[in-house]
Every structure is written in structure tokens, then in C-alpha cells.
Amino acid sequence: MAQATTQKNKAKKVLIIEDEADMCLLMNIMLTSKEMELDHVKSISAAKEYLNGEKPSVVILDNKLTDGMGVDFISFIKQHYPDVKIVMISGFSGAAKNLALDNGADKFLEKPFTKENLYKSVKELLN
């Protein structure tokens, strides 16, 4: 039991903000690792609630959510939680990518992305 607690304490928290259940499940499978503790919320409002009590190292943020645009939520995260790193994911590149990076996202991945790209992006930000 103590060993499991020690393992969990070493894991870095990663919050996935994604409203599509299938996409969230896929990212959970892609990122399953003893080095990461994954949590998931489905909206910006749920993410704000989560961030009041938990401090993830990395947030994976979808752009189009039911209650707003993820790209607009980046500045809130950076203002209130400046140490949190952000991987923005979107089905659109171009202007969305530039806006996300300008607003403070640390990485941008266009859907569909590979397991390797997602894992590498998150691991780089955790180190």
C-alpha cells in the first residue's frame, strides 16, 4: 500500500479539458503512464472548479467546448496559474494555432494527432 502511495505522489497531474467522450478516452489510453496522473473535465466551468482545488502540471485544452472556446480560456489559466503548462488541441490550424500560442499556450497540436506527438508534447512540458 505504501508503495502505491509513493508511486502516485511521484506522478505529475495532467488535466484533460475535452467535451467529447471518445476523444477523452483516446487521450487517456495514449497517455497512460506511471509518470502521469490523468484527470478529465468536460467544460471550461468544470475546469475552473477543478483548478480551485487541484494544481495540474499540464493542461490539455480542446479549443471548441460546450461553454466557450479553449483559446479564450488560455489567458485565464496563465493569469491565475502561471506555472501550469498548456497543450492546445484543435481541429483547425492556421489562425487558431497562432492565437493559441499568442495567448500563452506552450504547445499546439492539430487533430488528428498521433500518440507519439501527444505523449512527446506532454512529457516535454512535465520535465
Domain containing residue 100: CATH number = 3.40.50.2300
User: Residue 100 corresponds to which amino acid?
Assistant: A
Q: Which of 6-15, 28-37, 44-53, 94-103 has the lowest mean pLDDT?
A: 6-15
Non-local CB neighbours of 70 within 8 Å, separated by 6+ positions: 17, 44, 61, 62, 63, 64, 88, 90, 100
Whether residue 1 lies inside any domain: the answer is no
The pTM (predicted TM-score) of the whole model is 0.89
Residue 94 banded pLDDT, cuts 50, 70, 90: confident
CA diameter of the chain: 49
φ, ψ of residue 41 to 5 degrees: the values are -130, 160
The domain of 102 spans 15-126
Q: How many Å apart are CA 104 and CA 78, to the nearest integer?
A: 7
Query: What is the total count of domains within the chain?
Result: 1
